[in-house]
C-alpha cells in the first residue's frame, strides 16, 4: 500500500501527518517506509535528527542516478535508511532536489519512482511526503501511489484551494494513474470551540469531499515532537492527539 500525502498549500501539516501515521503503522509491526520528496526535508529531520549530508545517499541521489548512464544502476534500497523506531525506514530528502527538478522534468522521468517502488520488496506500507506545489516530485508521487490523503488546516484559503487540488488529482488520475483513489481530507489543527473550522468542514462535506475522522486537534505537543525528532507514538503515546492519530490510522486501514 502506497499513500501520498499532498496539498499544494504549505503549512498544513503534510510532514507531521506523514511521519505520525507511518510511525503508528510501524508500531503495529508493519514494515514501513517514508519517502521525503520535499527539498525542505521536514519529514527527514523529524525521523532522523542528524541529517544525511551526502545527497548521493538520499532521494536526490536516486533521481540523479535516473539521469546518468550507469551500467549497473543502484537499487532503490540503497537510498533507504533505518530510523530509531523498529520497522520504520526513511528515504530522506536533500536540498539538491531543487537543482535536479528541471532536468528531471525535461527528460520526462515522471514514471521512474513508480517503477522503482513496484520493484521494491519487503514493505507493507509506504508513505510519501510531498512539497507544497504540483511539481515533478508531487506528480511522480501521485503516479506511484495507490491512495492520496489531503491535509486541511481549517483555513479559508486552504478551503479555496481544495477544489483546484481535486481537479488536478482527477486530471492526473485520467492521464496517468486511474487506480489512484482519494481516501479523504484529514482535518488538522482543529479547534473545537472556534466557529470557522466547523463551518469549513460542513462546506467541504456539502461539496462532496470525504472528510475523515477523527479530526486532529491543535496541540503544542506537535512542536515538542518535532524538536525531539520523535513521532507522537514515541514521545507521548497516551496523549490526546496521539490517540486521535491512532484512531485515524485504524480508520484508514479499515477502508
Residue-level pLDDT at 112 = 96
Q: For residue 41, which of 123, 157, 141, 130 has the smallest C-alpha distance?
A: 130
Tens of pLDDT, residue by residue over 99-147, are 999 999 999 999 999 999 999 999 999 999 999 999 999 999 999 999 9
Q: Which pLDDT belongs to residue 119?
A: 95
**pLDDT computed for residue 110 by the predictor:** 97
* 38-58 pLDDT tens trace: 999 999 999 998 878 788 999
Grouping H, G, I as helix, E, B as strand and the rest as coil, residue 82 is strand
The full set of domain ranges for the chain reads 2-254
Could you tell me the pLDDT band of residue 193, with boundaries at 50, 70 and 90?
confident
* pLDDT at position 134: 95
Position 155 scores a pLDDT of: 83
- Reference 63, options 169, 168, 135; nearest CA is 135
Over residues 225-246, mean pLDDT: 97
Please check the confidence at residue 71 and state whether its pLDDT lies above 90.
Answer: no
- % the chain with pLDDT above 90: 88
What residues are paired with 220 via a beta bridge?
Answer: none
Closest CA to 168 of 133, 137, 207, 196: 133
Could you give the CA distance from residue 19 to residue 128 in angstroms, rounded to a whole number? 9
Contacts of 238 (CB under 8 A, 6+ apart): none
Classify domain 2-254 at the CATH topology level. Answer: Rossmann fold (3.40.50)
Distance CA 151, CA 187 (A): 6
Nearest-Å Rg of the Cα atoms of the chain is 18
Mean pLDDT, all residues of the chain: 95
pTM score > 0.95 for this model? Answer: yes
Q: Which of 65, 73, 16 is nearest to 45 (CA)?
A: 16
User: Does residue 156 surpass a pLDDT of 90?
Assistant: no
Q: State residue 73's pLDDT score.
A: 80
Could you read off the pLDDT of 203-224 as tens digits, one per residue?
Answer: 999 999 999 999 999 999 999 9
pLDDT band at 158 (very low <50, low <70, confident <90, very high): confident
Amino acid at each position: 500500500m502506497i499513500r501520498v500525502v499532498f496539498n499544494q498549500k504549505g503549512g498544513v501539516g503534510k510532514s507531521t501527518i506523514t511521519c505520525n501515521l507511518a510511525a503508528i503503522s510501524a508500531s503495529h509491526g508493519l514494515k514501513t517506509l517514508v519517502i521525503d520528496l520535499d527539498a525542505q526535508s521536514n519529514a527527514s529531520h523529524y525521523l532522523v535528527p542528524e541529517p544525511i549530508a551526502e545527497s548521493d545517499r538520499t532521494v536526490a541521489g536516486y533521481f540523479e542516478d535516473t539521469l546518468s548512464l550507469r551500467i549497473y544502476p543502484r537499487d532503490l534500497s540503497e537510498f533507504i535508511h533505518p530510523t530509531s523506531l523498529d520497522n520504520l525506514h526513511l528515504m530522506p530528502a536533500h536540498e539538491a532536489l531543487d537543482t535536479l527538478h528541471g532536468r528531471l522534468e525535461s527528460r520526462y522521468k515522471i514514471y521512474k519512482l513508480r517503477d522503482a517502488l513496484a520493484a521494491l520488496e519487503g514493505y507493507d506500507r509506504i508513505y510519501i511526503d510531498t512539497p507544497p506545489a504540483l511539481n515533478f516530485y508531487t506528480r511522480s508521487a501521485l503516479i506511484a501511489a495507490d491512495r492520496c490523503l489531503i491535509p486541511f488546516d481549517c483555513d479559508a484559503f486552504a478551503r479555496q484551494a481544495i477544489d483546484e487540488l481535486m481537479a488536478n488529482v482527477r486530471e492526473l488520475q485520467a492521464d496517468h494513474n486511474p487506480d489512484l483513489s482519494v481516501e479523504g481530507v484529514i482535518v488538522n489543527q482543529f479547534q473545537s470551540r472556534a466557529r470557522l473550522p466547523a463551518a469549513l468542514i460542513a462546506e467541504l462535506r456539502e461539496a462532496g469531499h470525504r472528510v475523515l475522522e477523527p479530526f486532529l486537534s491543535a496541540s503544542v505537543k506537535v512542536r515538542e515532537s518535532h524538536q525531539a525528532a520523535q513521532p507522537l507514538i514515541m514521545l507521548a503515546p497516551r496523549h490526546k492527539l496521539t490517540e486521535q492519530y491512532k484512531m485515524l490510522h485504524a480508520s484508514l486501514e479499515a477502508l
